[in-house]
Chains A and B, each alone.
Chain A
Amino acid sequence: MSSPITPVLTANWGTDRSWTLDAYTRQGGYQALAKALTKSPDEVVAAVKDSGLRGRGGAGFPTGMKWGFLPPYDEANPTPRYLVVNADESEPGTCKDIPLMMASPHTLVEGVIISSYAIRAKQAFIYVRGEVLHVIRRLRAAVAEAYAAGHLGPDSPAGVDLIVHAGAGAYICGEETALLDSLEGRRGQPRLRPPFPAVAGLYARPTVINNVESIASVPAIIGKGADWFASLGTEKSKGFVIYSLSGHVTRPGQYEAPLGITLRELLDLAGGVRHGHQLKFWTPGGSSTPILTDQHLDVPLDYEAVGAAGSMLGTRALQVFDETTCVVRAVLRWSEFYKHESCGKCTPCREGTWWLVQVLTRLENGQGNAADLDQLLDQCENIAGRSFCALGDGATSPVVSSIQHFRDEYLAHLEHGGCPFDAAASTAWAPRQEVHA
């Protein structure tokens, strides 16, 4: 059987000096840009629509449709509009955009130029989280090379300027409207919608915001054709994506494959769960997506099937935990993260995440009682759907799903008077388990 691995975005990551313009061009880089420039902007938008590309930043919104929400471009009286690339990558478990920008920043730069051309933006931004120094160096160097080569700048064919902007540490700035406020030099707090960014985004101008992987997919769509892209994946989830395996896996890492591959297939490629252990729980798309268990190994990892299984595809951040891991400890730590990252704008999330941590801490220490579980679920009901942005909803996902799948383990903490697990057994350096037949 042929391999399910389809290297497109990852194809050049292993080549010598892959981050340079020279290496990228030798592998056919910037040919998609040349091809795009022979089309009209509307034709490029149509190609992205036809490809079926859906946003890779978590929500899976169709990219071409998003671009179509911009107000019609007035040739006679042009006003500024912007493309903003969301490179904040901070959702726990998500680790695909950073290696992409490290190994092949020009893929993103080429995508930015083609996308800006399509939406008729003359100014684009890459908002990258500040905590990745070398990635920022590589992005800046790539942008400088692209200017020098005449791909960027007011006099380049597409006439696009591109600024690489470093953030300063705040998960909420990955939320697209908070990102815009942050890029305007403010506290990164989400904005009320409508108006949507397509109508009034950066500086209240029409703005498209897309994830790194979404924009980086555009050159391949233009270069190889929308039909080729749409022929990969499943009926409603088209194309290829990067799946990120981490945790108790023999060979964790980035696995690029068509949408719809299963965790079982991915684990086969990755050498399985670490030697001598079994899968216990996993996140399909980061910590904000409800956890799944070994019952879900054969769920096709596309938007529809993961949704039907009670979770979300999210960012395909597959964090894998084996039977040595305490689920209460894992959920408590994620809850501490949400509490820390809650921007404080709305009460359900600000207060709710604080309460979740209180109750979970008690339970992890074996000090609560069984009624605490219902209290946790109550608190989650008061946060989910009542918060101003999706951070609040996401904070409830690990809590609700872990109680659903592992209620007994919470109760075991109470019976045991504390955590019954040995944290040392979960570490990367735990003594190897001998398997007896």
Chain B
Amino acid sequence: MSINATTYAELQEIAGRYPQARSGLLPMLHLVQSVEGRVTPEGINACAEILGLTAAEVSGVATFYTMYKRKPVGEHHVGVCTNTLCAVMGGDQIFAELKEHLQVGNDETTADGKVTLEHVECNAACDYAPVVMVNWEFFDNQTPASAKQLVDDLRAGREVTASRGAKICSWREAERVLAGYDDGRADEGPSAGDASLAGLKTLEGK
């Protein structure tokens, strides 16, 4: 695939948002992923050209960050937190059962191209452990059964809504939002989950 004129113009637009264009590189790479499904050589070249860098320089940046993928990502990215707290609370078991259920290893995609499974680091939701992320949306207080249901729903194309977030879009659409192109869905979902309100709740009735 190659970067078309629309995408190229958007990449330029992102660079133009910053006092110095190179600051746009991270969001630009998110945009590349949203159109290419991964960071491709063509995407790297386009970023390099726009920013006046070498492809090697851009590549050096892309390889530093875990959200940038060299292998194609499936329609949905499912991240299971296996940092210590979630792991102990059951994240390890969830991850093991999902691998088995989906017949994939870490950072692999199901044969139907629907789900890429990965274990992720602490996602700042430890009070909802164990946590699963779908396209970087929160699925709180998961169990092996709920996580399997979740991936089954994703694979079947059923509508899925995050615990604290919006109706699930695709991974590519999520990457486009990260690049700075809003999808107008900030108003979906609650203000906060129960755990976020735990301190406030102790005051109720007092």
Contact = CB atoms under 8 A, between A and B. Distances in A.
Nearest to A163: B17
Interface in B128-179: 128-130, 133, 135-138, 141, 143, 162, 164-166, 174, 177-179
A300 interface: no
Contacts of A184: 20, 22-23
B200 A183 contact: no
10 contacts: A13-B197, A20-B187, A102-B164, A103-B191, A123-B19, A169-B67, A203-B19, A244-B127, A251-B201, A257-B199
Given A5-B202, A103-B192, A246-B126, A136 B121 contact: no
Contacts, number: 261
Interface string B113-131: 0000000111111111110
Nearest to B204: A14
Contacts of A171: 121
Nearest to B62: A168
Interface residues of A, number: 91
Interface in B1-46: 17-20, 22-27, 29-30
B174 A133 contact: yes
A65 interface: no
Nearest to B181: A140
Task: Please give me the 7 A-B residue pairs with the lowest Cβ-Cβ distance, nearest first.
Answer: A253-B198, A185-B25, A253-B195, A168-B65, A141-B186, A134-B165, A169-B66
B182 A137 contact: yes
A153 to B, nearest CB: 14
A166 B27 contact: yes
A420 interface: no
A3 B162 CA distance: 33
Interface in A77-108: 80, 89-95, 97-99, 102-104
B61 A99 contact: no
Interface stretch (A330-338, A347-355, A379-387, A405-413): A330-338
A287 B84 contact: yes
Interface stretch (A25-33, A38-46, A56-64, A422-430): A422-430
Given A134-B166, A257-B199, A330 B88 contact: yes
Interface stretch (A228-236, A317-325, A364-372): A317-325
A193 interface: no
A238 interface: no
B87 A131 contact: no
Contact of A253 (B23, B177, B194): B194
B192 A102 contact: yes
B83 A253 contact: no
A184 B193 CA distance: 34
A334 B195 CA distance: 24
Given A137-B166, A253-B197, A287-B84, A132 B192 contact: no
A144 B126 CA distance: 30
- Range of interface residues on B (Cβ < 8 Å): 35 or more
A11 B203 CA distance: 11
A56 B188 CA distance: 29
Contact of A93 (B85, B89, B180, B182): B85
A252 B191 contact: no
Given A253-B198, A255-B199, A167 B90 contact: no
A185 B26 contact: yes
Which of A7, A89, A95, A203 counts the most chain B CB atoms within 10 A?
Answer: A95
A426 B138 contact: no
Contacts of B165: 133-134
Given A80-B19, A134-B165, A254-B199, 12 more contacts: A5-B203, A10-B200, A97-B124, A98-B125, A102-B196, A137-B166, A137-B182, A141-B186, A165-B23, A168-B65, A251-B198, A254-B196
A224 B190 CA distance: 28
B109 interface: no
Interface of B: 17-20, 22-27, 29-30, 51, 60-61, 64-68, 79, 82-85, 87-90, 92-93, 120-130, 133, 135-138, 141, 143, 162, 164-166, 174, 177-180, 182-183, 185-189, 191-203, 206
A428 B89 contact: yes
A329 B83 CA distance: 11
Contacts of B141: 428
B61 A102 contact: no
B191 A18 contact: yes
A92 B84 contact: yes
Interface string A237-263: 000000111111001111111000000
A251 B196 CA distance: 10
A189 to B, nearest CB: 8
Given A131-B67, A330-B84, A7 B123 contact: no
Nearest to B123: A131
A15 B192 CA distance: 9
Contacts of A188: 64-65
A95 B125 contact: yes
Contact of B30 (A123, A130, A247, A343): A130
Contact of A203 (B20, B26, B93, B127): B20
Contacts of B195: 251-254
A163 B18 CA distance: 8
B206 A3 contact: yes
A246 B192 contact: no
A139 to B, nearest CB: 9
Which of A99, A243, A269, A337 counts the most chain B CB atoms within 10 A?
Answer: A99
A390 B25 CA distance: 26
A253 B166 contact: no
